[in-house]
Amino acid sequence: MAVYMRRSFSHVKCIRLCACLKVKNILTSDMYFSPDATVGRESESGIHPFPRQLKFPLRPGEPWHDRYSFVMFPQSSSKTPYDTIRQITPRPTSSMTQKPAQKPAMRPARQAADHEDFASGMDNTLQRVAGRNVDVSRATASMADISALTNIQKMPSKIRITADLPEINYADDDFQTAEAPYGTGQFDHYSIVADKNKKDVHIFAQPGEEVIVHRNSTSEAKMKANKSVTLPAKRSTSKTLQPDPIMKLQRVIGFGGVGKGQACWTTDGKSVVYPSHTLIVSINVDTKRQRFFAGHTEKVSAVCLNASSSLLASGQTGAQSLVRVWGYKEGNCLAIVKTHDHGLCMLEFSVCGRSLCGIGKDAKGQNMIVVWNLTEVERGMLTVTAKAHTDVDVIAAALDPVDSARLVTCGHDNVQLWRVRDGSLRCCSVSLRGGQKRAGISDVCYKTTKETAAGVTIYVSCLSGEVVRIDPDLAAVTSVQSLRSDPSLVESRRPSSCISITAMAASASLFATTSTDGFLRFWMPDFSRVLIEVEHEEPLLQVVFTQDGHRALVSTAVGSLAIVDVATDSYRTLLRAHTDEVLDMAVSEDLLGTVSADGTIRIWSLETSQQLYDFSISGEVPCNISFRSSSSEFACGFLSGRVTVFSVPQAKALTELKQLRGQITGLAYCAGHEGTLCYCDQFGTITLYRTSGTGYRLIRGLPNAVYRHLELAPNALVVSRNGSHIACVGPSEYVVTVMDTAALNEVLRIDVSSVKLPSGAPYPALDTAQQVAFLTSASSHELLVATSGSRLLRFDAWSGKLLAQLQPVHTGACTAVIASVDGRYVLTAGDNCIKVWDSSLRTNVIPQMFIGHSSRINSLCFTADGASLVSAGDSVFYWSFVRSREQKSLDSNDVYRKPELQSNAASLSVHHLIDDIPCRDISTSLNTRTAELITRQGNQRPVTPQNFRQAFEQKEEKEEGKQFSVPKAKKHFKKAMKQSSLAQRRYTALAGQAGLKLNSVIGFNGNSRNNVVWHPETGLFIYTSGCVAIVEDLKDGTQRHLMGHVEEISTMALQHDCQVLVSASGSSGAAACSQMCIWDMQSLACRTVLSQHRTDVQSLDFCLDDRFLLSVGNYQDPKIIIWSTYDWTVTMTTHASYPVHTALWNPFRSCEFMTVGEQGRMTFWLLEENHSNRTLAQLSMHEPDVPDELLYNKLGNVVHFTSACYISDKHLCLGTSSGRLALWDTTTNICIMHWIADESEIGVITGRSERLVTGSQNRLCLWDAAGLTQLSDSSQTLPKVAVSGDMELEGYVTTANFDSALVMGIVGTDTGTLWYINWSENVHIRLVSSHRDKVTALVRCPGNGFITSSKDGSIRVWTLASRELTMQFEVAGQSCNCISLSPVNLDSVLMRPSPSKTQKWFPLLVAGYDNGSLRIFDLNKVEMIKKLVPHVASVTVVMFSDDGQAIISGTCKGNIAISSPLTGIVIKHINGQRGAAITSIDCMAVSLLAFHHHRFFLGRFPGLPGLAFASLQ
């Protein structure tokens, strides 16, 4: 083994260890595998469980080590076998001394037990082996560095090195470990296990390796299991790309292999198994869910299932005609056999299931029929029962459904009867008439009957339209019948004539035939007449009945499968696929477009993979496709150089663009630049078009810009994500050019041939560029280049600087390169596989490789959300893509799949439970606000938990990490802009040692949503202001504060028993993730902090019994998490497919909740608990149909669902952004009625029984909803809905809490105001008021009060003791930046007599605004008395002089003005600090000499006291 380990091989087939020992079936891998490893528990050393292809068969319950031996030699490339000769520095002494090894201080218990078993199984004792010195002329390369073999360096000759074995100290009689000589140096980490009687070394192991001890059986004892001794391991520096696996195959669009038997039914008739090139696909005909069987290396030519559908057999064509037998339910390969040399065309199980028959070719080209024995298939054994070689041709075969030892084959002019007897196949020919021989035989089948002794009859079809009936016992033709089409079922233009039969199948009561005219016909058992006739436009290949004969499957020559239900005379297409290689593809928001060498352009649904449109141009072969950003148009390039723009909704060609000379090799629309199209041809000409009105206008044509090579197709042009730049290989193969998409102006040119190796040495060969891709992330804009030297280069797209390189990428040519949407991963295609790399291109990160394609992969493309990848080649593969470690953990607990379906590799999206049922529309009047009845026809079916589960199992969302745009609805929380951050170094005082203590907070955060908690029974009142939650006593106004957040609190929720409060804040700055603080309301202490959401939390809610907490993230990450309040652990997690605005539990039914959000989306959810194991809880969902009248507004735009409330155990009220209210029946999930409630968005809904409260912009309404709770979807009359109370509030209503009778409540608005509402007295009282924007200044006023200004343009005067607002000034559309009070009383400034001493007077107030104006306010009269405009720039600071006779103001541009408050005239302008913002001004009564500093200035002016001001340079 040491000899082989020193060599490098491109392919390894077998290794000869000695003259009598040769090892075959060798597999190579970049990963380590172990039979003891389990999925999801990979160790840090990178050991993985065996893949499915390497799982050895075992009997049920049999331990793996009892049957097989597992030897790793060596464990990693850095570990050296014991007999490797190494060079060491010789010591100056002539003799080498050896240091005895020390006994290890301790060893693991398992290791010690293994040692004892090893000692008890050995009959020999240990003995030291004498060492010897060896002279060598050339040192042998170390196994630790395999690359040193390729870089030969000159070595000194005749170096004496040691090969001595170490001295061994015995710890017991039979077993000992020893260290290498000297105790230090390069041999310190080696250990030896030796046999002292035989005087040899059994195994030389390195730390971390498993020392496998093979036992020999003796006469007294049976063979025991192999034991292993694990020595301490060295930590590996390499790591596997995470998450692992990062992709999973979900769906395949493709059908076809080689041969006629290409599809078969399962026994229950629910699934169809068919080949898709090298993959085998099992698809459920009802749900369209797919499963995959991967393992074949060539195209699959035959598939079949046994009678019970427990075994699946498949065979491949080519030189390696392997036959695989699979466990169908488990999906694992049980046995592999290669008997035929090539040309395997048919496989079929016997009726008893113990035999398998296959037909193919031998090495001489003769047909070979083989029968295998399946009795030991569970153990991986497939033995040949009988085989025969024949010179007659075989085109079809069938096994006897009664006698498993009989079969029949047919050729073009022969029919052979075969029988297995005494281990051989014996043949008997059937004599046919001349007519059948001349016309040609096409197919053969059996049919059970009572008319013959054998119980079966053989039917043979002919191209002449004849059906020959053969008695298998007599081996003779009993009858011949000529079939003709039924004139009553055909058109008059096609007269009745003979049918040229191509395939035939029989059921218990019917015959089915296919013919060359494209007809599928179902006949009576005696072929007297046609029962059903189905016409196709393409030839048919095969027809197969289900076991009960109720349905038939037909395959066509254009790659489609269809199902005919004989009982109901219905027909449906199961799947469609291209019949040739897919040359290119493109993805839009919900569509997938593909072009193929078969000459067709097909448009598919991304969600269901069903074909929607099919385009083709006679005589043209498409080769490129690209969608316009609107998805309504796409452009297609052809081999002839033609470029055509098609419309998807109109299903027609819109325009023809300029035809180039050669094949189109690159074509792309530019995202972000609507209507900009760029394409090039094989001769290097690049053309730029832009839409102009209804057509396209040529902008520029640039010849010789792209390298002339067809291998660049279809990815010769790549466009950046924002559509601003385009990159290509050209004008030569050594250069990559980046151009702008405005006019194809060159921006950057990179020469890849000059890129050196990381060591600084030049690349040994002249490297050329093959593929180009943009890599765009949040912080960089980079360019990826794949070269012919198997290198992947990463450049800065602006400067052209080389950032990283990686080699090797693929052994062959790289056919496609793409970066993930978030820029974290790079995907390359080559060698018929896909590799996923870390975008940093670090060499110590092992990539992941995914196989499945049987030929070149032409294109890779991500969906818009980045959650899925589509690859195109021989077929189209749809992969789910997990983009982070967190997503991997979520995928392992995927709520969209049941545990028993985890092995399924694909699923289909949700089918609505209630289809084609129109919802009633309620027309309303704004004046009366009453609803009138609109009748509706249709039946509903109740939504049960089983229906929930049925729908939810069909949907496997890939929305994690999906990027949504900022919602337009006001209901959605949007974090306030921060202009400051926490200090990097902070000190937290110990308990009782704080110098400052928060006493009270004035303000309510109107930017948050549902951030007010009021419990009417206990009087508990909590609201938030910034990152503080305020617990206020409504009786005396005292406050207590919950301080634990570092970011703005977005929402809160209180348990029904008022014991626990949950508050949530976002993630930025000091918080890496969002914070959800759990507060104990008795002690007001934080129990724990939960961090699962990556962004802000939009909604929180407790379930009815407080056992679960529901949290939903905002639009950036709409993750839905269900927490267990018992230990605050995650019970279930998933992702919503839309931004959620409101989420709430059903207060009448436990474990049910609902979500509403953007684009008129709503979802009902059901949590199914597993009381024995909480980790096995399951989540089901149902997304109901929304009536168009509710979904769209008057302008035809989609509305958003913003609020919701359960008003009874069967009714839900929903609010929209267009001001409509809708009533839903929660038992059937159907909209019963809807009416217009307001002209603006409904932000809050709360209701009980017959009363309903809604909050919108500046309005709060109380609705009399008597009779709504008795309404059902079958009601013929509707109750009247009218407004019984209406209040006008200031701002948009963001939160509302009412008592059970909806009489009293507390309402918050986005203006930062909390209102007390009393509907019985029809009053609303302001409880808390605050600024809407940042507070810019605060000054203390005489008495117990203070004044604040804000960017919202308001100035507010507060009393400190009661925290009440006493007066307010507001300037609309302006920002108040600074305020100042006069230092003397108002009378001195205005020069008027002073009032009596008993009268209270306020000083004068001046405020500066961002438009350069100053306003002077009289607080005594609560009015503005003067406006000054001394500046044109924003005022940043203002100050009264010491005597109050002047106002000094500074601006952001460094201007200072001195104005008179009496006349408003500017006394003086000071521009010495122009360009630097004035930040502070102060006045002093003492006159000082003028001097200046670079930041602080002091001066004296005529008539004014000393003035000092500061500015920023």
Smallest CA-to-CA distance from 372 within 336, 330, 332, 418 is with: 336
Residue 19 identity (one-letter amino acid): A
CA–chain centroid gap for 418, Å, is 54
- Tell me the per-residue pLDDT of 1242-1265, one tens digit each, with 9 for 90 and over: 999 998 777 899 999 999 999 887
Residue of 52 and 880 predicted with greater confidence: 880
Lowest-confidence segment of 803-807, 818-822, 1358-1362 by average pLDDT:
1358-1362
Report the alpha-carbon distance of residue 111 to residue 254 in Å, rounded. Answer: 52
Mean pLDDT calculated for residue range 121-142: 36
Structural contact between residues 1228 and 912, judged by C-beta atoms closer than 8 angstroms: no
Per DSSP bridges, beta strands 814-819 and 802-806 are: unpaired
Lowest-confidence segment of 399-413, 663-677, 722-736, 796-810 by average pLDDT:
663-677
Q: Is the pLDDT of residue 738 over 50?
A: yes
Smallest CA-to-CA distance from 869 within 878, 882, 857 is with: 878
Mean pLDDT calculated for residue range 73-92: 43
Structural contact between residues 1263 and 1287, judged by C-beta atoms closer than 8 angstroms: no
pLDDT at residue 1264 in the model: 86
pLDDT at residue 695 in the model: 78
Q: Is the pLDDT of residue 1376 over 90?
A: yes
Structural contact between residues 998 and 1043, judged by C-beta atoms closer than 8 angstroms: yes
pLDDT at residue 491 in the model: 44
Phi and psi for 695 in degrees, rounded to 5? -120, -170
Q: pLDDT grade, residue 89 (50/70/90)? A: very low
Say what percent of the chain tops pLDDT 70: 74
Report the alpha-carbon distance of residue 953 to residue 951 in Å, rounded. Answer: 6
Mean pLDDT calculated for residue range 1198-1220: 92
Lowest-confidence segment of 670-674, 959-963, 1034-1038 by average pLDDT:
959-963
Report the alpha-carbon distance of residue 140 to residue 161 in Å, rounded. Answer: 11
Burial class (CB within 10 angstroms; exposed 0-12, middle 13-18, buried 19+) of 1026: middle
Residue 1383: is the preceding peptide bond cis (ω within 30°)? no
Report the alpha-carbon distance of residue 1131 to residue 1125 in Å, rounded. Answer: 10
Report the alpha-carbon distance of residue 889 to residue 228 in Å, rounded. Answer: 32
For residue 888, the SS3 value is: helix
pLDDT at residue 567 in the model: 84
Structural contact between residues 1440 and 1381, judged by C-beta atoms closer than 8 angstroms: yes
Mean pLDDT calculated for residue range 1417-1437: 89
pLDDT at residue 947 in the model: 45
Contacts of 5 (CB under 8 A, 6+ apart): 74, 81, 143
Report the alpha-carbon distance of residue 468 to residue 281 in Å, rounded. Answer: 35
Residue of 1165 and 899 predicted with greater confidence: 1165
Phi and psi for 748 in degrees, rounded to 5? -150, 145
pLDDT at residue 1282 in the model: 85
Q: Is the pLDDT of residue 914 over 70?
A: no
The secondary structure of 316-348 as a DSSP string is E-SSS--EEEEETTTTEEEEEE---SEEEEEEE
Structural contact between residues 898 and 907, judged by C-beta atoms closer than 8 angstroms: no
Mean pLDDT comparison of 23-37, 1065-1079, 1255-1269, highest-scoring range: 1255-1269
Per DSSP bridges, beta strands 1201-1206 and 1178-1182 are: unpaired
Report the alpha-carbon distance of residue 1463 to residue 1389 in Å, rounded. Answer: 11
> Ramachandran region of residue 495, left (φ > 0), alpha (ψ -120 to 50) or beta?
beta
Tokens standing for 687? 């053309």
Contacts of 251 (CB under 8 A, 6+ apart): 290, 609, 877, 878, 906, 908
Q: pLDDT grade, residue 1391 (50/70/90)? A: low
Contacts of 474 (CB under 8 A, 6+ apart): none
Q: Is the pLDDT of residue 1051 over 90?
A: yes
| The residue to which tokens 């603006």 are assigned | 1240
For residue 133, the SS3 value is: strand
Smallest CA-to-CA distance from 87 within 147, 163, 150 is with: 163
| The residue to which tokens 């065996």 are assigned | 50
pLDDT at residue 196 in the model: 39
Mean pLDDT comparison of 235-249, 940-954, 1026-1040, highest-scoring range: 1026-1040
First CA to last CA distance, the chain: 75
Q: Is the pLDDT of residue 97 over 50?
A: no
Q: pLDDT grade, residue 353 (50/70/90)? A: confident
| The residue to which tokens 């090139």 are assigned | 277
Mean pLDDT comparison of 161-165, 439-443, 1132-1136, highest-scoring range: 1132-1136
Report the alpha-carbon distance of residue 1348 to residue 1356 in Å, rounded. Answer: 5
For residue 1051, the SS3 value is: strand
pLDDT at residue 1216 in the model: 94
Residue of 148 and 1169 predicted with greater confidence: 1169
Contacts of 810 (CB under 8 A, 6+ apart): 790, 828, 830, 831, 835
Average pLDDT value for the chain:
77
pLDDT at residue 119 in the model: 38
Q: Is the pLDDT of residue 732 over 50?
A: yes
Mean pLDDT calculated for residue range 1125-1143: 90
Structural contact between residues 1507 and 1483, judged by C-beta atoms closer than 8 angstroms: yes
Task: Walk across the sheet containing 1108-1113 and list its strands.
Answer: 1097-1102, 1108-1113, 1119-1124, 1129-1135
Smallest CA-to-CA distance from 1164 within 1217, 1214, 1093 is with: 1214
Structural contact between residues 689 and 728, judged by C-beta atoms closer than 8 angstroms: no
| Buried/exposed code over 1409-1422 (b: 16+ C-beta within 10 A; e: otherwise) | bbebbbbbbbbeee
Residue of 221 and 759 predicted with greater confidence: 759
pLDDT at residue 1306 in the model: 94
Structural contact between residues 432 and 415, judged by C-beta atoms closer than 8 angstroms: yes
pLDDT at residue 228 in the model: 38
| The residue to which tokens 């006739």 are assigned | 533
Question: What residues pair up with 1054 in beta bridges, in sequence order?
Answer: 1061
pLDDT at residue 118 in the model: 35
pLDDT at residue 1473 in the model: 67
Tokens standing for 489? 């079922």
Say what percent of the chain tops pLDDT 90: 28
Q: Is the pLDDT of residue 848 over 70?
A: yes
What's the DSSP call for residue 673?
A: S
Smallest CA-to-CA distance from 84 within 158, 180, 228 is with: 180
pLDDT at residue 631 in the model: 65
pLDDT at residue 558 in the model: 83
Smallest CA-to-CA distance from 231 within 212, 211, 214 is with: 211
Q: pLDDT grade, residue 53 (50/70/90)? A: low
Mean pLDDT calculated for residue range 939-961: 42
pLDDT at residue 931 in the model: 30
Smallest CA-to-CA distance from 211 within 73, 38, 110, 82 is with: 73
Residue of 136 and 831 predicted with greater confidence: 831
- Tell me the per-residue pLDDT of 521-562, one tens digit each, with 9 for 90 and over: 999 888 888 888 888 888 888 899 998 888 999 988 888 889
- Tell me the per-residue pLDDT of 761-799, one tens digit each, with 9 for 90 and over: 677 778 899 999 998 876 668 899 999 888 999 998 888
From residue 322, alpha-carbon distances to 254, 332, 1051 in Å are: 22, 16, 62
- Tell me the per-residue pLDDT of 424-451, one tens digit each, with 9 for 90 and over: 888 899 888 655 555 688 899 998 887 7
Q: pLDDT grade, residue 673 (50/70/90)? A: low
| Cα-Cα-Cα-Cα dihedral sign, residues 391, 397, 400, 405 | positive
- Tell me the per-residue pLDDT of 1098-1110, one tens digit each, with 9 for 90 and over: 999 999 889 899 9
Report the alpha-carbon distance of residue 195 to residue 973 in Å, rounded. Answer: 74
pLDDT at residue 229 in the model: 40
Mean pLDDT calculated for residue range 737-759: 86
Report the alpha-carbon distance of residue 11 to residue 602 in Å, rounded. Answer: 39
Burial class (CB within 10 angstroms; exposed 0-12, middle 13-18, buried 19+) of 1364: middle
Other beta carbons within 10 angstroms of residue 941's beta carbon come to 11
Structural contact between residues 607 and 591, judged by C-beta atoms closer than 8 angstroms: no
Structural contact between residues 1280 and 1265, judged by C-beta atoms closer than 8 angstroms: no
Contacts of 391 (CB under 8 A, 6+ apart): 366, 367
